[in-house]
């Protein structure tokens, strides 16, 4: 599996928790905009992402895209956001994530909860 990042956050080949060789965003709250490719639709990816995000106290949304990818906008404590990224990348049952593209950014506090959007 390959993870890629851009902007001022992590990116690189996957290995262990989080992307290997990556530089993390600053401590505190962070926002992650991410696209997952692979077998990520029709395998309860969005429902599992939402459940885990709520468990971790995160805000944002997740949705299917017409091209077969899943897109998510996640915000919260940086460590929790990284934990959700790791969960979505490797631990959702039935899913097979082949590629992850993401950008870190400053928190916007636009969302109060975590939702599946259509």
Catalytic residue list: 46, 64
- Cβ burial 3-26 (10 Å sphere, 16+ → b, else e): bebeeebbbeebeeebbeebeebe
Residue 20 to residues 31, 47, 58, 61, 79, Cα–Cα distance (Å): 19, 27, 23, 26, 16
Distance in angstroms (rounded) separating the CA atoms of residues 7 and 103:
6
Determine the number of helices (DSSP H) and then strands (DSSP E) in the chain: 2, 7
Q: What secondary structure letter does DSSP report for 24?
A: P
């Amino acid at each position: 599996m390959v993870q890629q990042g851009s902007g001022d956050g992590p990116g690189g080949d996957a290995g262990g928790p989080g992307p290997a060789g990556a530089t993390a965003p600053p401590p505190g709250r962070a926002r992650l905009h991410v696209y997952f490719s692979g077998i990520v639709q029709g395998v309860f990816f969005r429902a599992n992402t939402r459940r885990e995000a709520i468990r971790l106290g995160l805000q944002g949304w997740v949705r299917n895209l017409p091209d077969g990818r899943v897109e998510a906008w996640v915000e919260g404590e940086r460590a929790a956001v990284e934990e959700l990224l790791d969960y979505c990348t490797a631990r959702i049952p039935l899913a097979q994530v082949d590629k992850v593209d993401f950008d870190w950014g400053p928190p916007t506090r636009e969302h109060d909860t975590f939702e599946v959007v259509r």
